């Protein structure tokens, strides 16, 4: 069993991955109890080939941003297995901070926390995007908004076509997810349920762009103020829902 643990650094407490021709693949092992400003577990720079995580565990790392993983990898990061859990940040992105292309086709992302936003995953930056076709995002918490997922205004359109997002809790709005994404969010599958927001949007809070729901299930979510399922805020947001959803 390979492990990287108990290290401290400015960025990438456990592992820093950089270099134009470099390749990163994680299929097992553990990265835990590391500390850094960004990417306490793993930090991916912009340079490097597309990277993959298919197994292993990244847990109990601490920092200010993206305690489990911080990725700016231009060629993308695909996570198809493994566990990312128990990571904690004082600002945004408890489990993952993604400033580039992120693909989730598996993995369990759970029990991560952010003092501000994006307890599970925080997406920000012009190159950021999410494609989620499988996996679980559950039991994450945020001190403000988007306990499971937080999408900033900049970045590419993102898609959720499968997987489960449940039992996440936001002190503010967007128990499962909050989207400011100008280029929109498309939901064509998966299940979003049993999430909680103390303000608005127990499941989804959308404030900009177009949110399209063409399939999938959204149920048993709770918002203390308003919008147990979906809360649409401001004139800058539009909503489309098909008969199949």
Segment 88-130, tens digit of pLDDT = 999 999 999 999 999 999 999 999 999 999 999 999 999 999 9
Please name which of 215, 229, 113 lies closest in space to residue 170, comparing C-alpha atoms: 113
The most distant pair of C-alpha atoms in the chain lies apart, rounded to whole Å, by: 53
Find the angle CA(97)-CA(94)-CA(44) to the nearest 5 degrees. 35
- Asked whether the predicted pLDDT for residue 1 surpasses 80, the reply is no
- Buried-state track 32-65, b at ≥16 Cβ within 10 A, e below 16: bbbbbbbbbbbbbbeebeebbbbbbbbbbbbbbb
Please name which of 103, 24, 96, 28 lies closest in space to residue 61, comparing C-alpha atoms: 96
Segment 182-219, tens digit of pLDDT = 898 999 999 999 999 999 999 999 988 889 999 999 99
CA 51 to CA 24: how far, in whole Å?
Answer: 5
CA 202 to CA 182: how far, in whole Å?
Answer: 21
DSSP E strand boundaries for 81-197: 83-85, 88-92, 96-98, 101-110, 113-114, 121-123, 129-138, 141-142, 149-151, 158-160, 164-166, 169-170, 177-179, 185-193, 196-197
3-state SS assignment for residue 111: coil
Summary mean pLDDT of the chain: 94
Name the token pair of 160. Answer: 């959720």
96, 145, 162 from 108: Cα distances, Å: 12, 21, 13
Question: 3-state secondary structure string, 227-239?
Answer: CCCEEECCCCEEE
CA 220 to CA 168: how far, in whole Å?
Answer: 12
pLDDT at residue number 243:
60
Segment 126-181, tens digit of pLDDT = 999 999 999 999 999 999 999 999 999 899 999 999 999 999 999 999 999 999 98
- The DSSP bridge pattern shows strands 237-241 and 209-219 to be parallel
Question: Which pLDDT band holds residue 242 (cuts at 50, 70, 90)?
Answer: confident
**Global confidence as pTM:** 0.96
- How many DSSP H helices and E strands does the chain contain? 0, 30
CA 174 to CA 71: how far, in whole Å?
Answer: 23
Q: Does an H or E element contain 213, and which?
A: strand 209-219
Q: Contact at 8 Å (CB) between 135 and 163?
A: yes
């Amino acid at each position: 069993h390979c492990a990287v643990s108990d290290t401290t650094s400015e960025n990438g407490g456990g592992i820093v991955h950089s270099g134009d021709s470099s390749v990163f693949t994680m299929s097992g092992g553990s990265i835990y109890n590391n500390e850094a400003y960004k990417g306490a577990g793993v930090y991916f720079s912009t340079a490097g080939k597309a990277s993959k995580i298919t197994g292993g565990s990244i847990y109990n790392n601490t920092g200010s941003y993206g305690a489990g993983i911080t990725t700016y990898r231009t060629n993308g990061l695909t996570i198809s297995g493994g566990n990312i859990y128990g990571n904690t940040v004082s600002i945004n992105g408890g489990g993952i901070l993604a400033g580039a292309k992120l693909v989730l086709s598996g993995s369990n992302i759970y029990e991560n926390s952010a003092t501000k936003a994006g307890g599970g995953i925080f997406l920000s930056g012009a190159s950021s995007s999410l494609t989620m076709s499988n996996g679980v995002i559950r039991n994450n918490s945020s001190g403000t908004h988007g306990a499971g997922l937080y999408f900033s205004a900049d970045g590419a359109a993102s898609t959720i076509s499968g997987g489960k997002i449940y039992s996440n809790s936001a002190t503010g709005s967007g128990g499962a997810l909050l989207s400011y994404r100008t280029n929109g969010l498309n939901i064509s599958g998966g299940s979003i349920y049993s999430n909680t927001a103390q303000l608005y949007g127990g499941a989804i809070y959308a404030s900009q762009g177009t949110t399209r729901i063409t399939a999938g299930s959204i149920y048993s979510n709770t918002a203390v103020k308003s919008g147990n399922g979906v809360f649409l805020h401001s004139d800058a947001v539009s909503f489309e829902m098909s008969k199949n959803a």
